[in-house]
Structure 1
Amino acid sequence: MRRYGPAVVLVLCAGAVLRISLFSELYLRYVQPGLRPYLIASGVLLLVLGIVSAVAVGRAARSGVGHEHDEQGHGHDHRHGPRVAWLLVVPALALLLFPPPALGSYSAEREAARYAAQGIGTFPALPQGDPVDLTLSQFTSRALYDSGRTMKGRTIRMTGFVTKDDDGTWYLTRLLISCCAADARPDKIEIRKADAPAVDSWATVTGTWIPKGKLGSEAAWPPVLAAADVRQVEQPENPYEKR
């Protein structure tokens, strides 16, 4: 079995990659949707390499090449490779059996918000009708930099997960990514006039914007929403927003 170690590891890694990218939407926990074809291609390539490696080892075993090689005293060089390769089985099996969840409140709280006074200007008018569905990044951009105050008096609806401060203040939060979960940056909105759901649960909040601080200043962060309705929802298929 040891001689098949590298082939088994390649097949397991291929299965893990294909499971999250080809046979499910789990890849959205880790990367942007546009990277799906590359994940599928990588999984297929790993699978092909694993099969080719297993076939090559099988042919060598049947022809007696491996036995003759061992008799010449060189077999020990190849036994170390499989031992190291087996270490990759653990993360591959973890991804196959217990895919890690999307980043949540812990990741959001690790990075402090730092906004410079830049990008202040006018924004397009919001669509007619209330409530208006916005992403958290759209809301925070307008709250921080929109000199026209286009959200004032409008009813806004957004979805995110719940985070809390030690003092009980709670936020609707979303992680923004450019490429994958490794470059995630949190966006959050302070929610007032409503009780908080459980931390890390997902909620859709409807309410009105409460302006605060000077545009583009740290005093304007985080923006505030006076909630009129808070409803717990399931985590969306894609838990991240694109930067």
Structure 2
Amino acid sequence: MRRYGGAVLLLLTGAAVLRITVFGELYLRYVQAGLRPYLIVSGGALVLLGLVSLATTALPGRRGRPDTPHGHPGAPDDHPGHHHGPAGPRVARLLTLPALALLLFPPPALGSYSADREAAQRAAQGVGTFPALPAGDPVTLTVGAYSSRAIYDSARSLKGRTVRLTGFVTHGDDGAWYVTRLLVTCCAADATTAKVEIRGVDAPPTDTWVTVTGTWRPKGTLGSDAAWPPLLAATTVTRVRQPADPYEKP
């Protein structure tokens, strides 16, 4: 059975990729929606390679071949720990564990832990004007869009407007709490943080997804560090389900 290890690893990995893309939207926890077709093709290719590997390994001429160092029967073991058999390096079989974990127990989206570890990194943009907001209140904005307008908009387009933000809850050491979203350009590995400090209502538990409605409260000088994170004077806080796509685009 050991000689089928490489094929099984390919099948597990391909099946895991297909599970989170074809049979659901779990892939949105890790990458942007536009990468879905590439993931499906990659998963299908891995499954196909795994099936081909199983078939070729099971051929009569492939049976009974012993595992020996470097694939040479009777060759001396000059490199302990680097044995290669029909299935390749034995250490590669350790990849079976993360592949199986992804297939059976997909990890959750990044949350408060990642946001708390993320330094206050903001896009290098100067103070300027932004496009006019849509008519009607409340206006729904992403956390990133609200932050940009609150910190950099010289036209003060948020003044007098009621806005609605959705994100997960994080807490500061000073007792403040925030509506937070992670901004992803390509995949979860490049995530950065956008957050808005909420005042006027009690804080829900950490990592709770909420929709907050309120009004902008000016803070600090435009474009300065003192203006970050921006403030929102909340009137209502409603708990919501985590969206299928938990990330925002920068």
TM-score (norm 1): 0.93
Q: CA deviation at 1:81?
A: 2.6
Structure 2: 5+ residue runs without aligned partners?
A: 76-82
Change (3 A) 1:148 1:79: same
Is contact 1:210–1:224 with CA below 8 Å preserved after alignment?
Answer: yes
Aligned-partner Cα distance in 2 for 1:227–1:201? 16
Aligned-partner Cα distance in 2 for 1:42–1:74? 38
Report what 1:31 is aligned to.
Answer: 31
Q: CA deviation at 1:74?
A: 5.4
Report what 2:173 is aligned to.
Answer: 166
Report what 1:188 is aligned to.
Answer: 195
Report what 2:152 is aligned to.
Answer: 145
Report what 1:229 is aligned to.
Answer: 236
The amino acid that maps onto 1:53 is: S
Change (3 A) 1:68 1:216: closer
Is contact 2:66–2:85 with CA below 8 Å preserved after alignment?
Answer: no
Change (3 A) 1:69 1:79: closer
The amino acid that maps onto 1:67 is: G
Q: Any idea what the Cα deviations from partners look like across 1:72-125, whole Å, max 9, x if unmatched? A: 825974168363232111101111111100000111111221448742111122
Equivalent runs, 1:118-157 vs 2, <5 Å = 118-157=125-164
Change (3 A) 1:124 1:70: closer
Change (3 A) 1:39 1:117: closer
The amino acid that maps onto 2:213 is: T
Using the aligned pairs only, state the percent identity.
Answer: 64
Aligned-partner Cα distance in 1 for 2:24–2:123? 39
Structure 1: 5+ residue runs without aligned partners?
A: none
Aligned-partner Cα distance in 2 for 1:143–1:220? 8
Moved more, 128-137 or 115-124: 115-124
Q: CA deviation at 1:127?
A: 1.0
Report what 2:95 is aligned to.
Answer: 88
Aligned-partner Cα distance in 1 for 2:134–2:56? 62
Aligned-partner Cα distance in 2 for 1:109–1:70? 49
TM-score (norm 2): 0.91
Change (3 A) 1:79 1:191: same
Is contact 1:120–1:215 with CA below 8 Å preserved after alignment?
Answer: yes
* Matching of residue 43 in structure 1 with residue 43 in structure 2: yes
Aligned-partner Cα distance in 1 for 2:109–2:231? 25
Is contact 2:182–2:247 with CA below 8 Å preserved after alignment?
Answer: yes
Aligned-partner Cα distance in 1 for 2:67–2:230? 69
Is contact 2:121–2:192 with CA below 8 Å preserved after alignment?
Answer: no
- Larger helix proportion of the pair: 1
The amino acid that maps onto 1:32 is: Q
The Cα RMSD (Å) is 2.0
Aligned-partner Cα distance in 2 for 1:69–1:37? 40
Tell me, what secondary structure is at the counterpart of 2:237? strand
Is contact 2:163–2:214 with CA below 8 Å preserved after alignment?
Answer: yes
Q: Any idea what the Cα deviations from partners look like across 1:163-205, whole Å, max 9, x if unmatched? A: 0012210000000010000000000000000001110010000
Is contact 1:176–1:240 with CA below 8 Å preserved after alignment?
Answer: yes
Report what 1:11 is aligned to.
Answer: 11
The amino acid that maps onto 2:110 is: L
Q: Any idea what the Cα deviations from partners look like across 1:13-65, whole Å, max 9, x if unmatched? A: 00111001111100000000000011101100100110000000011xx23x4
Tell me, what secondary structure is at the counterpart of 1:242? coil
The amino acid that maps onto 2:246 is: P
* Matching of residue 52 in structure 1 with residue 52 in structure 2: yes
Change (3 A) 1:2 1:140: same
Question: How many pairs were matched up?
Answer: 240
Report what 1:67 is aligned to.
Answer: 64
Moved more, 221-230 or 88-97: 88-97
Change (3 A) 1:55 1:121: same
